[in-house]
Structure 1
Amino acid sequence: MERELKLRIPIEDLEKLRHAPLLAQSKSATDPPKLLTSTYFDTPELAFHWCGASLRVRVVGGERLQTLKLERSARTGLFDRDEFEMPVDSDTPDLKLLLDQISADTDCGKLIRDEATAARLKPVFVTRINRSAIPLRLPSGDELEVALDEGTIEADSGSVPIVAVELELKHGQPENLYEVALELLETVPLRIDHMSKADLGYELLVAERSDAVKAQPVQLNKRDSIEDAFCSIARNCLDQVHANERGVVSGHDPSSVHQMRVGLRRLRSALDLFADEIPAYAGLGEELRWIASELGAARDWEVLAGSTLERAGTCASPDEILPVRQVCEQIAANNRQLAAAAVESARYTRLVLQFVTWLNRQGWRDGMSDKQRGSIDRPASQFAADVLRRRHRILIKRGKRLAELDDHRRHRARIAAKKVRYATEFFASLCPRRAVRHYVDALTALQDDLGWRNDAVVADQLLKSVPRVSPDAASGAAFARGYLASRVAADHQTLKKLWKKFRRLSPPG
């Protein structure tokens, strides 16, 4: 099993990192780097890649090592995967050496047992890396290796440079990798890496794109404590955030921005939900609001340029709407670049590393009294029921005469509905399934209506700024604003019916 935290670093900071206090204490810090040449092999149709594996032969001095890695998705930069490494006598892989290592009933196991596979293997890309490997022994006794890498990944289709830092756990607890990364971040601006070297190599061969990732259902156990539930929910939210980082950085899919933003909203809601029992550390809320706002502008302009103007365009001349759409699409693209830069920043890296360290270490226990620790050890089921009832009451209060509320008060009701929805989904596995389904269905319909109404309010504000950017788009922007206002007015009865239907229900706890 290999456990590595992968980070990227500007090439101009690599030597500075070598002299960081944590690394300078090691005698190996001044050793010259070693050249690692690794040739990755696959079949012409990339069968190993498609079954989630990478196969390489690495030359180090006069030795050759064959390595098979079963790739898994990284969690906040931590690659936790099965690795099978053994010496070989030639420059090409020997699949027979893997037969006792890989189960025959897996896709990869079937592949290496197919006699035709070995004959069809060919080099697909090569990595040439100058590596400085610095062993560290922490005061806790944990052992890890810090690898400073500089080199290239080369394929027939092109090459890419790579400058990276890898923290590999040799012995101890994975959370120590995050703490070491935080200490190194004090010296140079590191960034979490979302891709392994194999990922980068295959990206030269295959034009793969990272799809937007929705939240997975939270699975809680009836015997879970409040603290157990918090940890499961927080990690679930963090998984959604991290799964969409790569898509945000690539900038190709606006949906990744949306889903990462949803993940952040869910995480902020979870922290608020548990705040009385498990208070967040100082500054966390501010940093989460910062990254959410960096994504928010991109998302708002995407919605306007897409679905909002598409609906308006059905009732207007294309010549009138087209200039508006072009302006909005360009502003949206610019904001996607800003969102990508935020996710690539050292500030965001610090936020993630600090949060994961706090979560893994259960940092909230520091300074807690015995009574407070006893409180978070209580069963989560009763806590969940109390939370759902309380949040439901807040929504009912804020939603009184919902269809007649002004934009500000309706926005507060929408936020309350969102918090109820997230809380219900967080605790759904502790509640009767049928009750959850009916409640969430009615709440979802209400949220959808409130959501597009909020989009209309935001769009109206954005459209006011469009003529200043492009006078040619002024008439189209004015038409779109009028169209949205008419749609909101026409929705009055629908919102009344949706609210009436929801108001009859009781929370599922």
Structure 2
Amino acid sequence: MERELKLRVAKEDLDALRHAPLFAKVESAAEAPRLLTSTYFDTPALTFRDSKASLRVRTVGTDRVQTLKLQGSVQAGLFERDEFEGPVGSDVPELERLHDQIPEDTDPGKLVRDALIGAQLEPVFVTRINRSVFPLHLPSGDEIEIALDEGTIDAKMGSVPITALELELKQGQPESLYSVALELLDTVPLRIDRLSKADLGYAQLVAEHSEAVKAQRVQLDKRASIEEAFSVIARNCLDQVQANERGVVSGHDPSSVHQMRVGLRRLRSALDLFATVIPAYPGLNDELRWIASELGAARDWEVLAGSTLDHADFKDHPDEIQPVRQACEKIAVDNRQRAAAAVESVRYTRLALQLALWLSRKGWRDGMSDEQREAIGSLVKPFAEDVLRSRHRKLIKRGKGLADLDDHRRHRARIAAKKVRYATEFFESLCPRRAVLHYVDALTALQDGLGWRNDAVVADQLLKALSKTSPDAASGAAFARGFLASRVAADHQTLKKLWKRFRRLSPPR
């Protein structure tokens, strides 16, 4: 298993990085820079890529090394994946040498044993990297190999420059990689690298779209402790956040912005849910609110330009809708670029590394008393039941007379409903499935009703501002505001029915 943290560094910062205090400690043990030439092979149909694998032959001096890497997982730039490596006698792959390393009954095993695929292999791109290696031995006994890479990735379509920092764990715990990266971040503005060299090479061959990723179901063991449940839930939320980073950075897919924002809301809700027993480290909630706000503006304008304006009936005013929609879409694109810049920032890199380190080393235990450690070691089931009851009661209280509440109090009820929904989804595997489905069905319908009203309130504010900044859209914006207000008023009875249906229910247990 390869464990490697990948970070990007600007070419102009390489010299400063080489003079970082950390490198001064290991300079005497550093290896002389060497050229690594790696040729990646695949079939014309890119079978290895489609199988989430990469195959290369690397030349180091007179030696040839063949490597097959599988997809694995990526979190905050930390790649964890299976790697099969060994010497070969020429510049082309020798798949038979992998047979003893990979079981025959696995998908990779079948791939390397397919004679037809082997016969079709051809070079698809080449990386030429000048690498400086620094071995680092930490006081904890952990061993890390630090590599500074500068070079190119060359394919028929062109060449892409690369300057990168790789921290490979040779021995010890993954959290040591985050600690070292944070120390280096104090010297130069590093960025999380979400793409391997193979990913960058294939990106020159195939235009790949990063799909938006929704939350995966949380599965808790009924014998899990509070601490174990928190770890599973927090990592589940973080997985959703980080799975959508690439889509946000690309700037093309508003759905990725939405799903990353959902992941952040879920994570903040999880931290709030466990706050009495597992407090977040200082500043975490502020940083999560910051990145959520950077994504929020893009999402608000996307919703207005799309689904909210679709509720307004412009059939008798066809010439007025186009300036409004165009102005909204332009602002949405501008804000999407702002969101991408935020996810690419040093500030977000620090947040991602600190959060990953905290979860990896269970940093909440620092400063805890024996009684507090004992408390988080107790079963999560009673804790979950208490949380679900408490959040349900708060929603019932805030939702009293829901359909007649003003915008502010209805928004508070909507937030309470969202927290109930997230808590229920976090703990649903501990409850009878039928009870959960019935409860979530009613809660989802209520949230949809509240969500539509909230979108209308936000739309009113945005359209009001739009009238001042885009005179051509002023008339259409005024019409849309009036129409949406009438729709909200007409929705009064529907909201009353949704609330009446939900308040009859009890939380699952």
Q: Offset at 1:324?
A: 0.6
Say if 1:366 and 1:84 are closer, same or farther in 2 by CA, change over 3 A: same
Residues 355-504 of structure 1 aligned to structure 2 (within 5 Å): 355-504=355-504
Partner deviation per Cα, 1:292-323 (whole Å, 9 max, x = no partner): 00000000000011111223255453321000
* 2:121 match: 121
Identity %: 76
- State the Cα distance separating 1:423 from its structure 2 match: 0.3
TM-score, length of structure 2 as denominator length = 0.98
Q: What does residue range 14-29 of structure 1 map to in structure 2 within 5 Å? A: 14-27=14-27
Name the counterpart of 2:333: 333
Kindly tell me: are residues 79 and 118 of structure 1, through their superposed partners in 2, closer, same or farther at Cα, counting changes over 3 Å? same
CA distance in 2, matches of 1:313, 1:499: 27
- Aligned residue type for 2:294: E
Cα deviation code 1:331-377 (max 9, x no counterpart)? 00000010000000110111111111111111111111111111111
Q: Does 1:270 align with 2:270?
A: yes
* Alpha-carbon distance in structure 1 between the residues aligned to 2:85 and 2:74: 20
Give the secondary structure class of the aligned counterpart of 2:82: strand
Q: Which has the larger displacement, 23-32 or 168-177?
A: 23-32
Q: Does the C-alpha gap of structure 1 residues 436 and 164 become closer, same or farther in structure 2, counting only changes over 3 Å?
A: same
How far is 1:19 from its partner?
1.1
For residues 119 and 374 of structure 2, the distance between their equivalents in structure 1, rounded to whole angstroms, comes to 62
Task: Describe the SS at the equivalent of 1:282.
Answer: coil
For residues 72 and 366 of structure 1, the distance between their equivalents in structure 2, rounded to whole angstroms, comes to 31
Quote the residue 1:61 is aligned against.
61
Alpha carbons 1:313, 1:321 under 8 Å: kept? no
Aligned to 2:284: 284
Amino acid at match of 1:99: H
User: Matches of residues 5-404 of structure 1 in structure 2 within 5 Å?
Assistant: 5-27=5-27, 32-313=32-313, 315-404=315-404
Residue 231 of structure 1 aligns with an amino acid whose one-letter code is S
Tell me: CA distance 1:185–1:81, structure 2 relative to 1, closer, same or farther (3 Å).
same
For these two proteins, the number of residue pairs brought into alignment is 509
Task: Note the C-alpha offset of 1:45.
Answer: 0.1
- The Cα of 1:186 is off from its aligned counterpart by 0.7
CA distance in 2, matches of 1:290, 1:102: 45
Q: Does 1:506 align with 2:506?
A: yes
Distance across 1 between alignment mates of 2:312 and 2:35 = 60
- For 1:505 and 1:353, the matched residues in 2 are separated by 41
Separation of aligned partners in 2, 1:29 and 1:265: 45
Rounded Cα–Cα distance in structure 2 between residues aligned with 1:221 and 1:13: 47
Structure 1 pair 476–106 and aligned structure 2 pair: CA distance change class (3 A): same
How far the C-alpha of 1:111 sits from its partner, in A, is 2.1
Contact 2:215 2:240 in 1 (8 A): yes
Cα RMSD, aligned residues only: 1.1
Listed one character per residue, the Cα deviations across residues 427-464 of structure 1 (whole Å, up to 9, x for unaligned) are 00011111000000000000011011101100110001
CA distance in 2, matches of 1:113, 1:259: 39
Cα shift readout 1:97-139 (whole Å, capped 9, x = no counterpart): 0111222223322222121222210000111111111110001
Of 48-57 and 101-110, more deviation after overlay is shown by 101-110
Unaligned runs of 5+ in 1: none
Q: 2:479 & 2:148 partners in 1: Cα distance?
A: 57
8 Å CA contact retained: 1:149, 1:162: yes
Which secondary structure does the structure 1 equivalent of 2:44 belong to?
Answer: coil
Residues in 1 aligned to 2:165 and 2:249: alpha-carbon distance in whole angstroms = 19
Report which stretch shifted further, 316-325 or 413-422.
316-325
